[in-house]
Amino acid sequence: MSAGKLQSKTSVDWEAFKDTILIVAPGKDDTSHTRCTHLIQQALKNSTHTRTTTRGAPYWWDESIAETRRKCVEARRKFTRAARRKGDDNAEATVKKQEYRELKKSVGKQIAEAKKRSWATLCQELENDIWGGAYKIVAKKVGGLGQKEVHPRS
C-alpha cells in the first residue's frame, strides 16, 4: 500500500482497524516483526477509505498528438541509450538526438495548433450559446461560483 493513497488520518475507521487486528492475530504474542508489519498494513487497508483520482485529457488533446508524443518518447529513450554507449565517435547518438529534437518540435507545434483550433471553436460556441460547453469549461476552471451567503446582523 502506497503512502500517497491515504487521504487523511480522519478517514481511518479505527474500530475496523482494531477488529481486523483482533481477527487476524488473536492473542498471538510471538509474531515476528514482518508478520506484525503485514498485519498492520492489512488492518490499515481494511479500515481506510481511499480515493483514486484520474485526470482526464485536456480538451484540445487528440489521438494524433498522442501518437506523435509516443514516437517522441521512444526517440528520447533511443537517444538516451545511444548516448550511454561508450565510443570514440558516437555518431549514432548525434543522429538519435536530431531525430528526438525534430519529434519534440513536432509535438509542440501540434499542441499549439490544437490549442488554437480549440480556442477558436470555444469562442464560436460561446457566440452561439453563452450557457453551453464554453461556460462549463470556464466555470470548472474558475471554481464553483456559488451564491454568497447573506448573514443577518444580530
Residue 67 predicted with pLDDT over 60: yes
What pLDDT is recorded for position 4? Answer: 47
- Model pTM score: 0.55
Residue 137 predicted with pLDDT over 60: yes
Which tens digits make up the pLDDT trace of 88-109?
Answer: 678 889 999 999 999 999 999 9
What pLDDT is recorded for position 79? Answer: 94
Which tens digits make up the pLDDT trace of 16-55?
Answer: 777 777 776 556 555 677 777 887 888 777 777 767 677 7
Q: What are phi and psi of 56, to 5 degrees?
A: -80, 165
Which tens digits make up the pLDDT trace of 109-135?
Answer: 999 999 999 999 988 888 888 888 778
62 or 49, greater pLDDT: 62
CA distances to 9, 100, 107, 109, 120 from 113, in Å: 45, 20, 10, 6, 11
73 confidence band (pLDDT: 50, 70, 90): very high
Which residues are registered as beta bridge partners of 48? 12
Q: What is the DSSP string of 80-111?
A: HHHHHS--S--HHHHHHHHHHHHHHHHHHHHH
Q: Which three cell numbers stand for residue 102?
A: 525534430
